[in-house]
Amino acid sequence: MSELNPRQFAVITGISSKLGMEMARQFASHGYDLLITSPSDGIANAEDDLRTYGTQVIGLEVKLETYRGTEKLYETIKSFNRPVDVLVMTCIDGVSGEFNETALKREIHLINHNIVSVIHLTKLMLRDMMGEGQGKILLASAFPAANSSPLETIYGASMAFLTSFVDSIQHLARTNGVTVTTMIPVIGEENQFENDVVAHAREGYEALVSGRSKVFEASLKNKLQNWANQIIPDKIKTEFQRRVNEANSRQ
């Protein structure tokens, strides 16, 4: 496989999602060469779109929820013989409903994509970035998550795990020249996020390049929500989140 030209190189997964595509546009508009992934065969359209920015783009159709899929992506990355400056991993949304009624197969798929694949790819790429003494990783989701999500049990748990995972590797990464950033919307702002994905992708890009560990919305509402989340008893938060989930499911 031929090498891309020697500009900054970003790998972005989940290009079939709105957030994944907008993140790719951010990097393309700033002159990054791109390797993008999608589980579907529509990735060619995304390649054509992103090439209009004058950058080089290679698309890879791959199912990252499988071990082989993640290995295939890593092998493709290594075939370019160049360091990856940025890795953006996008998460998929949850399975809504009571835990005893939701489809186990879909939940296992979510776990494999949002947790297993992220750990797998981060393990491989963090080693390489640490070896280079530089690199940036962004873990992004377009969907909010609460600590207790009664009707989105597995998704909420996956986001809690990933938040803890990133916090746990921050020191190791930073002391070796690598930054890791999480971008997970705050509960209550999902409609705003959906309506302005472009602005939020830009915010994610700016947070990543500046080396911030987390992307938080700047509104007073979100700051109050974050503060309240720390002091309100878990039982009350769980019941409140159940009502939010039920209201959203009726829309």
Structure-block tokens of residue 121: 């790819």
The tally of domains found in the chain comes to 1
Residue 125 within any structural domain of the chain: yes
Question: Sorting pLDDT into bands at 50, 70 and 90, what band is 184?
Answer: confident
- Counting residues of the chain whose pLDDT is more than 70, the rounded percentage is 78
Work out the average pLDDT over 153-181.
94
Residue 101 within any structural domain of the chain: yes
Supply the pLDDT for residue 150: 76
Residues of the chain by 3-state class (helix, strand, coil), percent to 5:
55, 15, 35
Residue 4 within any structural domain of the chain: no
Question: Sorting pLDDT into bands at 50, 70 and 90, what band is 121?
Answer: very high
Strand 178-183, strand 135-140: pairing: parallel
Supply the pLDDT for residue 103: 93
Query: How many CA atoms does the CB half-sphere of 94 hold within 13 Å?
Result: 22
Give residue for tokens 């999500």. Answer: 149
**H-type alpha helices, 87-152:** 104-111, 117-132
Supply the pLDDT for residue 248: 54
Rounded-to-integer distance, Cα 251 and Cα 242, Å? 15
CATH number of the domain to which 82 belongs: 3.40.50.720
Residue 51 within any structural domain of the chain: yes
Residue 2 within any structural domain of the chain: no
Which range marks the domain in which residue 221 is found? Answer: 9-250
Residue 169 within any structural domain of the chain: yes
Supply the pLDDT for residue 1: 42
Residue 210: closest CA among 179, 245, 172, 176: 179
For 210, the 3-state DSSP assignment is helix
Mean pLDDT over the full length of the chain: 86
pTM of the complete model: 0.84
Supply the pLDDT for residue 197: 86
What would the pLDDT profile of 13-46 be if each residue is shown by its tens digit? 999 999 999 999 999 999 999 999 999 878 999 9
Query: Which pairs from 198-206 meet CB under 8 Å and 24+ separation?
Result: 198/22, 198/25, 200/19, 200/22, 200/142, 201/19, 201/22, 201/23, 201/25, 201/26, 202/26, 204/23, 204/26, 204/138, 204/140, 205/23, 205/26, 205/27, 205/30
Beta carbons of 123 and 145 less than 8 angstroms apart: no
Residue 1 within any structural domain of the chain: no
Q: How many residues does the chain have?
A: 251
Supply the pLDDT for residue 94: 77
Structure-block tokens of residue 36: 């993008």
Residue 3 within any structural domain of the chain: no
Question: Sorting pLDDT into bands at 50, 70 and 90, what band is 3?
Answer: very low
